[in-house]
Chain A
Amino acid sequence: MTDTPALGEVARNGLWSNNPALVQLLGLCPLLAVSSTVVNALGLALATLLVLLGSNLAVSLIRHQVTPTVRLPAFVMIIAAFVTCAELLMAAYTFELYRILGIFIPLIVTNCAILGRAEAFASRQPLLPSATDGLMTGLGFGAVLVLLGALRELFGQGTLFTGMDLLLGPAAAGWGITVFPDLDFLFLVLPPGAFFATGLLIALKNVIDDRLERRRRAREPDTPRESRRVRVTGTIR
């Protein structure tokens, strides 16, 4: 059993330093396929957040009862149950968006980020850290998804926030703004543009990390450099 990390660190990992989309590169399939507009991205982000939170809670609750041999089927069953909940909820309240997102809602089951959090975190940690981890990882994933959706909608179609009423009800019908009229940059609308935009976001995150690291090292010049190797857990000093 690993030590329980502080909640602040859990939050920082989920949102930034171990962000599922930008660092772990998990769940890329929905990330690339669905992030064509803000409303699609937000819809999927909320559904993923719900599932991640629920599955982390449930996995953490049963972590002493499930033996290691059957843990993966158990986790997948739990995740599938929450995905079904999310799917039924979307079908009930945001039917149009449910039809637009189509297969990508049931496919949340196969989002490795969720199973990854269940396996690497929730199955070893008490309830509160697990819930925090689920929430923060979901928010981190959702933030990238929405940012990507905004970028692709803005530079692909020249609009922002169109069709938000599909998710937020009739009050949001007038939110859509047209920034660049007549823009139709098909490359960004199609999935290859999502690959490209994701790459740029990862590069941007690395640049920011690099700057922060350099500033930190300038303040305390004697700190040894951290290993650059990829690690799933912890850091090598």
Chain B
Amino acid sequence: MSLMHADQSTSRRPAATAAVMGWLLVATLPGIATLTWHFGWGVLTNVACAAALGVGLEAAMLRLRRRPVAPTLADNSALVAGVLLGASLPPGSAWWLILIGMVAAVVVAKQLYGGLGHNPFNPAMVGYALLLVSFPVPMSLWAAPTGLVGPEALTLGEVLRQFAGLVPTETLDALSGATPLDAFKHKPAGVMAAEFWAGSPLPEGALSAWHQVALAWLAGGLLLLYKRIIGWQIPIAMLATLTLVAALFYGASPSHQGSPLFHLLGGAAVFGAFFIATDPVSAATSRRGKLLYGAGIGALVMLIRPLGAYPDAVAFAVLLMNFAVPLIDYYTEPRVYGHAAARRGIKAEAGEDGR
């Protein structure tokens, strides 16, 4: 049969999970490097600890579940969950914070649901959301950008003491500043946006550090798009909707709301759009579904930021849309070729019967 030997040159073999996850890890490098440049060694201790815990906990759970350990670990997915959670946490988080987050992510959100491919929720974001709800104080202590602190920046030794949990919260509080979104969210009610920026409650240049981090994540995201590890639908839909809703808020009340650019680059939106929302397991699968899913996340982020209690909302928005994924997939299932005609035929017959 000649049909059996059809030319395969136009079809692409789906990449192995390990390769996909490997490229994801490569793509996080610019973002993590920029974060480290601006926020110090604490970013690296976070990522290293979370990644090691991710692999360790996954191995332990696989043993408990009597599944093959080495082949499953080789797909790198636990490593990716660890790196993503580590990059989301405030730099220099204490080990116990990272441990609780990774237990929630790998043990509960991933392995208890049946492992990679069976988790309805994004593991890293389950860990992050649990930490944010449980430990609001350590989760809001972002170190001020090191370039601004100058000689008082934390040395590696000090970061390690912080990591070991030996630094009391009061000292941490003095060393850290709020993220731009946090500071803007908690500005006094009477203060106008223009006054807020003129008064510079953020250290000069803190916002530009955040912009650079967002652009570094964007670079990694573009690499993923170029390598076709992720589709364009989710990140574009998410960022476009976020910008649109931010523009609506800004247009309605420019004196009190942040500008769309501030919301686009000031927080975790770019990171979330390219690295979190695109998780192939917990995201919607069809093309139209991905557009809806991304748009939903963008809209939810921009509803929670100005109206909710938390300054940033990528984790909550992603988890909420994870809930909606089965519904989205159900209604956006691509039509199987040839089936619409069959349906028309049945309908016509039914009509004739009715007459």
Residues of A within 8 A of B (CB): 184-188, 190, 192, 196
* Docked complex Cα distance between A190 and B134 (Å): 9
For the side of the interface on B, what is the size category?
A: under 10
Given contacts A186-B133, A187-B134, 9 further A-B contacts (CB under 8 A): A184-B135, A185-B134, A185-B135, A186-B135, A186-B136, A187-B133, A188-B134, A190-B133, A192-B133
- Tell me the smallest distance from the CB of B247 to a CB of chain A, in Å: 34
Residues of chain A lying within 8 A (CB to CB) of residue B133:
186-187, 190, 192
Residues of chain A lying within 8 A (CB to CB) of residue B135:
184-186
* Docked complex Cα distance between A185 and B101 (Å): 12
* Docked complex Cα distance between A185 and B130 (Å): 10
Residue of B nearest to A188 (CB): B134
Give me 15 A-to-B residue pairs in the complex whose CB atoms sit less than 8 angstroms apart, sorted by A's number: A184-B135, A185-B100, A185-B134, A185-B135, A186-B133, A186-B134, A186-B135, A186-B136, A187-B130, A187-B133, A187-B134, A188-B134, A190-B133, A192-B133, A196-B108
Residues of chain B lying within 8 A (CB to CB) of residue A187:
130, 133-134
Residue of A nearest to B108 (CB): A196
Residues of chain B lying within 8 A (CB to CB) of residue A185:
100, 134-135
* Docked complex Cα distance between A184 and B133 (Å): 11
| Chain B contacts with A in 118-168, Cβ cutoff 8 A | 130, 133-136
* Docked complex Cα distance between A192 and B133 (Å): 11
* Docked complex Cα distance between A185 and B108 (Å): 17
| Chain B contacts with A in 37-94, Cβ cutoff 8 A | none
Residues of chain B lying within 8 A (CB to CB) of residue A186:
133-136
Residues of chain A lying within 8 A (CB to CB) of residue B134:
185-188
- Tell me the smallest distance from the CB of B26 to a CB of chain A, in Å: 34
Residue of B nearest to A187 (CB): B134
* Docked complex Cα distance between A184 and B130 (Å): 13
Most buried by B among A185, A187, A188, A192: A187
- Tell me the smallest distance from the CB of B159 to a CB of chain A, in Å: 22
- Tell me the smallest distance from the CB of A202 to a CB of chain B, in Å: 12
- Tell me the smallest distance from the CB of A173 to a CB of chain B, in Å: 30
- Tell me the smallest distance from the CB of B171 to a CB of chain A, in Å: 15
| Chain B contacts with A in 295-311, Cβ cutoff 8 A | none
What are the 3 A-B residue pairs with the smallest beta carbon separation, nearest first?
Answer: A187-B134, A186-B134, A185-B134
Residues of chain A lying within 8 A (CB to CB) of residue B108:
196
- Tell me the smallest distance from the CB of B146 to a CB of chain A, in Å: 29
- Tell me the smallest distance from the CB of B320 to a CB of chain A, in Å: 14
- Tell me the smallest distance from the CB of B65 to a CB of chain A, in Å: 12
Residue of B nearest to A189 (CB): B134
- Tell me the smallest distance from the CB of A192 to a CB of chain B, in Å: 8
- Tell me the smallest distance from the CB of A158 to a CB of chain B, in Å: 13
- Tell me the smallest distance from the CB of B121 to a CB of chain A, in Å: 13
Most buried by A among B108, B133, B134, B135: B134
- Tell me the smallest distance from the CB of B342 to a CB of chain A, in Å: 37
Residues of chain B lying within 8 A (CB to CB) of residue A190:
133
Chain B 200-232 per-residue mask, 1 if CB under 8 angstroms from chain A, else 0: 000000000000000000000000000000000
Residue of B nearest to A182 (CB): B169
- Tell me the smallest distance from the CB of A194 to a CB of chain B, in Å: 14
- Tell me the smallest distance from the CB of B101 to a CB of chain A, in Å: 11
Residues of chain B lying within 8 A (CB to CB) of residue A196:
108
Residues of chain A lying within 8 A (CB to CB) of residue B100:
185
